[in-house]
């Protein structure tokens, strides 16, 4: 056997024989330094935001977010705390002990390369460090160096490398070029979830105060007012009332939702973007119409006024706290169960992590639809049902009157949002609803939908405008599949059930396929709903003329 030079061995960890068909990097990847330039990084959190989290969100967890400070990713001095390397290594040790999955993910990758070409960031950039196998290797190399016997003795020869400032920069660069979408995990024969490696990477970065504002400020707002937008109760309520005014103008029906009403049967929670930002507001109008149509005994909460949970992008403690708020509100109001709107990561937190953090929610009842009597045993532990499951069940039982022709002015395709599709298996319910509310529907190609869906490219708190170029290249595989159905079938509407997607796909389409609009599924439901006593509809919920009404 040829003797491999020691300095090459560290590289050969990613060069080993390929068991699968995928590609693994052949280059000396860790010799290429991460360089920050305007446009390739998201802005760091403002000092006062970290101060807020330290003092108000987690006074009981000093150090969770490092020292509040100003720092500049482009500078060579990040103003890191004394002994920051030790802080990271201790943090890693603590997490290896706490999360068995992390230890397994660190140990069991065989570098087969099956995941390598499955990440949209790699497909859009060609940067090998965006291959999931290498993204994980950024952390794994440090793990190997300090936590495995081979690494401790052989160091680089065994694929280990010490925690240095260069490594920290790579982490900040590439753990924020992963949207935790889990597409790679679908193709990994060992089920390694690189998204969870990114999550731990980000947690560790937080310990030394390396973070981004687009995540930390909405998280602070959520802690303070209950939602990302920082809306106070009166504003939250007023916005919904404005939407009711629009509904009245379009349908002639006055919808009267209630707020913070104790004793309602159901608490409805949705992302605040549905209440405040386009095109989410049209989706919210769809919810309002649907609940009025079926006479649901429900309430909105102006405190649990956010389904989104930026804790998922931050650390376990934050995720737990923000998730807990929804349940605290359900308890306070004395509802029986929770109905959840079109959100992505709220559902990921619910399905993957809620039970171990805050569950089971035994003070609530197993959700049962008061209209159809269906018991949602799949939500027996979390007591929270997705609006698409709920709507599909209503349609299945013939409890809603629909006129799909009212969406004839649109030709629609369906984007499976990563979190609802891959993390909770919500694949067929939205399609069933879609079939019933619109006539012109075309699927995107098979390897870009369902479990293999491509991310919008801007999830996990990367939907900030200073990295627009990065987002556009990460979203290329998604946009490319939309382009295909647009060219073939004249698709002009991209529907989904995720608030972040609705915002980010809007920009993605604006750049790649400018004639394609983005909407939520419930907006299409709202258009199709035939309300009792309504006037003839001339426009859809965004005041766009219906087919045949263009004149």
**Which residues make up the interface to ligand SF4 (CB under 6 A)?**
109-115, 118-119, 121, 132-133, 135, 178-184, 188, 190, 192, 194-195, 198
Q: Which does 71 bind (CB under 5 to 8 A by kind): another protein, ligand SF4, none?
A: none
Q: How far is the C-alpha of 103 from the C-alpha of 125, rounded, in Å?
A: 29
Contact yes or no for 343/336 (Cβ under 8 A): no
- Least distance between another protein and beta carbon 453 (Å): 11
Q: Which does 290 bind (CB under 5 to 8 A by kind): another protein, ligand SF4, none?
A: none
- Least distance between another protein and beta carbon 315 (Å): 19
For another protein, the closer CB: 105 or 236: 236
- Least distance between another protein and beta carbon 324 (Å): 21
For another protein, the closer CB: 276 or 353: 276
For another protein, the closer CB: 33 or 373: 33
For another protein, the closer CB: 218 or 459: 218
* Cα→Cα distances 294→8, 290, 317, 391, 524, Å: 67, 6, 38, 10, 17
- Least distance between ligand SF4 and beta carbon 112 (Å): 4
DSSP secondary structure of 103-157: HHHHHH-----TTTT--HHHHHH--GGGSHHHHHHHHHHHHHHHHSHHHHHHGGG
Q: How far is the C-alpha of 352 from the C-alpha of 29, rounded, in Å?
A: 33
Q: Which does 186 bind (CB under 5 to 8 A by kind): ligand SF4, another protein, none?
A: none
For ligand SF4, the closer CB: 133 or 444: 133
> Which of the 8 DSSP states describes residue 539?
B
Q: Which residues bind another protein (CB under 8 A)?
A: 23, 25-27, 29, 40, 116-117, 122-128, 131, 213-214, 217-218, 221, 225, 228-235, 237-239, 241, 259-260, 273, 276-278, 302, 445, 447-448, 463-465, 468-469, 472-473, 476-477, 480-481, 483-484, 503, 506-507, 510-512, 514
Q: Which does 278 bind (CB under 5 to 8 A by kind): another protein, ligand SF4, none?
A: another protein
- Least distance between ligand SF4 and beta carbon 118 (Å): 6
Q: Which does 378 bind (CB under 5 to 8 A by kind): another protein, ligand SF4, none?
A: none
109 phi-psi bin (left φ>0, alpha ψ -120 to 50, beta other): beta
- Least distance between another protein and beta carbon 101 (Å): 28
Q: Which does 354 bind (CB under 5 to 8 A by kind): another protein, ligand SF4, none?
A: none
DSSP secondary structure of 419-440: HHHTTT---HHHHHHHHHH-S-
For ligand SF4, the closer CB: 99 or 190: 190
Q: Which does 192 bind (CB under 5 to 8 A by kind): ligand SF4, another protein, none?
A: ligand SF4
Contact yes or no for 502/415 (Cβ under 8 A): no
Q: How far is the C-alpha of 464 from the C-alpha of 272, rounded, in Å?
A: 17
CA angle 366–228–254, rounded 5-degree value: 65
- Least distance between ligand SF4 and beta carbon 187 (Å): 6
The bridge status of strand 266-269 relative to strand 517-520 is unpaired
- Least distance between ligand SF4 and beta carbon 190 (Å): 5
Q: How far is the C-alpha of 9 from the C-alpha of 4, rounded, in Å?
A: 6
Q: Which does 113 bind (CB under 5 to 8 A by kind): ligand SF4, another protein, none?
A: ligand SF4
Q: Which does 183 bind (CB under 5 to 8 A by kind): another protein, ligand SF4, none?
A: ligand SF4
* Cα→Cα distances 365→70, 461, 535, 536, Å: 47, 33, 38, 40
Q: Which helix (H) or strand (E) holds 183?
A: helix 183-187
DSSP alpha helices (H): ranges in 208-272?
Answer: 213-225, 233-251
First-to-final CA distance of the chain: 80
- Least distance between ligand SF4 and beta carbon 536 (Å): 46
For another protein, the closer CB: 46 or 95: 46
């Amino acid at each position: 056997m040829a003797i491999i030079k020691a300095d090459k061995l560290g590289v050969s960890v990613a060069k080993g024989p390929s068991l699968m068909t995928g590609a693994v990097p052949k280059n000396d990847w860790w010799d290429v330094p991460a360089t920050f330039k305007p446009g390739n990084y998201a802005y760091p959190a403002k000092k006062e935001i970290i101060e807020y989290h330290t003092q108000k969100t987690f006074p009981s967890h000093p150090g969770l977010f490092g020292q509040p400070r100003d720092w500049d990713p482009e500078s060579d001095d990040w103003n890191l705390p004394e002994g920051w390397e030790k802080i990271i290594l201790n943090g890693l040790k603590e997490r290896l002990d706490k999360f068995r999955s992390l230890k397994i993910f660190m140990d069991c990758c065989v570098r087969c390369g099956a995941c390598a070409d499955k990440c949209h960031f790699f497909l859009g950039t060609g940067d090998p460090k965006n291959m999931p196998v290498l993204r994980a290797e950024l952390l794994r190399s440090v793990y190997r160096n300090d936590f495995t016997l081979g690494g401790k003795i052989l160091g680089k020869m065994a694929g280990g490398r010490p925690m240095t400032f260069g490594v920290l920069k790579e982490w900040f660069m590439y753990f924020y070029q992963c949207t935790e979408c889990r597409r790679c995990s679908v193709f990994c024969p060992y089920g390694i979830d690189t998204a969870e490696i990114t999550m731990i990477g980000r947690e560790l970065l937080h310990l030394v105060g390396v973070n981004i504002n687009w995540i930390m400020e909405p998280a602070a707002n959520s802690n303070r007012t209950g939602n990302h937008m920082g809306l106070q109760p009166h504003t939250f309520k007023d916005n919904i009332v404005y939407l009711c005014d629009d509904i009245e103008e379009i349908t002639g029906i006055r919808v009267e939702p209630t707020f913070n009403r104790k004793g309602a049967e159901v608490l409805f929670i949705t992302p605040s973007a549905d209440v405040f930002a386009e095109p989410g507001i049209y989706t919210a109008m769809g919810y309002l119409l649907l609940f009025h149509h079926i006479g649901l005994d429900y309430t909105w909460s102006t405190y649990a006024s956010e389904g989104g949970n930026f804790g998922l992008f931050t650390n376990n403690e934050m995720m737990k706290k923000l998730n807990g708020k929804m349940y605290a509100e359900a308890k306070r109001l004395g509802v029986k169960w929770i109905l959840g709107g079109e959100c992505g990561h709220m559902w990921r937190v619910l399905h993957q992590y809620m039970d171990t953090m805050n569950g089971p929610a035994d003070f609530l009842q197993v959700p049962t639809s008061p209209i159809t009597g269906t018991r949602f045993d799949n939500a027996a532990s979390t007591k929270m049902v997705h609006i698409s499951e709920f709507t599909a069940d209503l349609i299945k039982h013939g409890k809603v009157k629909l006129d799909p022709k009212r969406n004839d002015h649109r030709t629609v395709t369906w984007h499976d949002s990563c979190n609802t599709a891959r993390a909770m298996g919500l694949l067929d319910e939205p399609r069933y609803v879609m079939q019933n509310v619109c006539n012109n529907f075309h699927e995107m190609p098979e390897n870009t939908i369902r479990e293999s869906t491509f991310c919008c490219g801007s999830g996990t708190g990367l939907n900030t405008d200073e990295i627009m170029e990065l987002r556009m290249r990460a979203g290329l595989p998604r946009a490319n599949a939309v382009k295909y159905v647009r060219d073939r079938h004249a698709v002009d509407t991209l529907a989904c059930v995720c608030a972040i997607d609705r915002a980010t796909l809007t920009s993605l389409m604006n750049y790649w396929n400018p004639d394609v609009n983005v909407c939520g599924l419930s907006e299409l439901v709202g258009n199709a709903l035939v309300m009792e006593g309504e006037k003839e509809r001339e426009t859809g919920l965004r005041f766009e003329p219906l087919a045949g009404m263009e004149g």
